[in-house]
Amino acid sequence: MSDWRKTDIVNVDQPELTAAERLYVPQVLGGFKTTLRHFFRKRLRDETVVQYPEQRRVLHKENYRGVHRLNRDDQDRVACVACFMCATACPAGCIHIEGAESPWPDREKYPARFEIDELRCIYCGMCEEACPVDAIELTPKYDLVGRSRKEMIFDKETLLAVYDRTKDDKPRKHPAITGYVRLTIDKD
């Protein structure tokens, strides 16, 4: 004896067509009604259609994940401290950093080379979330064009230039972190 009940069975056959539905022509006419209604609704079209590039969609600038930039601190130096947290967090492995001893007294390291391959990037924002000093941020710029793959590997100057161009459009989320303590080894 099986252990199921009749109420366990659910019939999912296609429902039978009614007589009017079998005739098909009334259904077709109903379809025409819908189509014609949309055909004559010019106001809906005007409100919905965004004529790119003259009009652009309004973005949530705080959250939109577009091209990266390297923020500057209030002395116009690159804010990154070459901690490699973004490079480690990146799922696509598109960030390449070379750290070096920083030329400034209040910081220990700075990136001598900071490259992001914008074509490999998946624009997930993990690097922005990982950065402890808010140095890397994703801007609302999405219409990026390059003519070669080499052109799309953004180096440190390019990323700082993106900052210069977008700092008014999207200001830094948090103010720059200053007051680093530089550990020095006392020489006796």
Partner 1 sequence: MWEWLSWESIKDNVLADQFGFSLLLVPVLFGVMMLAVAYSVLAERKIAGWIQDRYGPNRVGPWGLLQPIADGIKALMKEDITPGHVDRALFIFAPWMIFVVALVGFAVIPWGGAFRWPWMDESAEPILAQVASIDIGLLYILAVASLGVYGLVLGGWASNNKYSFYGGMRAAAQMLSYEVPLGMAVLVAILTTGHLRLEDMVLAQTGFAWTVLFHPAAALILFVSALAESNRTPFDLVECEQELVGGFHTEYSAMKHALFFLAEYAHLITGSAFIVAMYFGGYLIPGFTWLNESSSVWAMLARMLVFGGKVAAIIGFYMLVRWTLPRFRFDQLMRLAWKSLVPMTMALVVLQGVIVYTDCSQWLALPGNVVIVVAAAVVGARSGTPVTGRQQSLMRKEATG
Find, among 80, 147, 67, 74, the residue nearest to 109 by Cα. Answer: 80
Is 45 an interacting residue with respect to partner 1 (CB under 8 A)?
Answer: yes
Find, among 145, 146, 148, 128, the residue nearest to 86 by Cα. Answer: 128
Tell me whether residue 34 or residue 63 sits nearer to partner 1 (CB atom). Answer: 34
φ, ψ (nearest 5 deg) of residue 89: -75, -25
Q: Which of 8, 44, 100, 159 binds partner 1 (CB under 8 A)?
A: 44
> How many residues bind partner 1, per CB under 8 A?
23
Q: Which of 5, 7, 10, 14 binds partner 1 (CB under 8 A)?
A: 14
Q: Which of 11, 63, 148, 184 binds partner 1 (CB under 8 A)?
A: 11
114 in Cβ contact with 159 (< 8 Å): yes
Which range, of 38-46, 78-86, 144-152, 171-179, touches partner 1 by CB under 8 A?
A: 38-46
Structure tokens at 171: 């200001």
Tell me whether residue 2 or residue 34 sits nearer to partner 1 (CB atom). Answer: 34
Is 56 an interacting residue with respect to partner 1 (CB under 8 A)?
Answer: no
Which range, of 23-31, 67-75, 92-100, 134-142, touches partner 1 by CB under 8 A?
A: 23-31
Tell me whether residue 46 or residue 186 sits nearer to partner 1 (CB atom). Answer: 46
The whole-angstrom separation of Cα 174 and Cα 66 is: 18
Q: Annotate 30-85 with three-state secondary structure.
A: HHHHHHHHHHCCHHHHHHHCCCCCCCCCCCCCCCCCCCEEECECCCCCECCCCCCH
112 in Cβ contact with 78 (< 8 Å): no
Tell me whether residue 31 or residue 146 sits nearer to partner 1 (CB atom). Answer: 31
Is 113 an interacting residue with respect to partner 1 (CB under 8 A)?
Answer: no
Torsion of CA 61, 114, 118, 69, to 10 degrees: 10
Q: Which of 1, 10, 12, 22 binds partner 1 (CB under 8 A)?
A: 22
The whole-angstrom separation of Cα 35 and Cα 37 is: 5
Q: Which residues bind partner 1 (CB under 8 A)?
A: 6, 11, 14, 16-17, 19, 22-25, 28, 31-32, 34-36, 38-39, 41, 44-45, 48-49
